[in-house]
Amino acid sequence: NSIKATTVVSIVSGMQVSVTTFTSPAGNLGSITLSPVQPTATNVEFKAGSQKLQIDIISFRAQFGLDSGQVTASGRATDQDGNNETAFAKQIAAWS
């Protein structure tokens, strides 16, 4: 449904912190910040015009040793007209 997720990972106070921003041609839907202190967010809804993005759960895992870091998300999204709701479950970022 033409929604793009962009994740930036940075070090803040010695911790990996991810900021994932969701955008579409309808506009900026919103962003979610995750870290080892708050590694998940649930039931987050964003809107841009008629388009809706429902994040059921988004999860963060920091990179440590040989394990890569990742952000995964699942939920539902509509098209720009607010129709054709589609479920998704994806890894939206990975780093090492």
When divided into structural domains, the chain yields a total of 1
**Spatial CB neighbours of 39, under 8 Å, sequence gap ≥ 6:** 59, 60, 61
State the pLDDT confidence band at 2, using cuts at 50, 70 and 90.
confident
Range of the domain at 79: 4-95
Whole-number Å distance between alpha carbons of 45 and 53: 6
**For residue 87, what are its two tokens?**
């479920």
CA dist., res. 17 & res. 8, Å (int):
8
pTM above 0.85, yes or no: yes
**3-class SS at 67?**
strand
Q: At residue 1, does pLDDT exceed 80? A: no
Average pLDDT (64-81) is 96
Q: What is the H or E stretch that residue 83 is in?
A: none
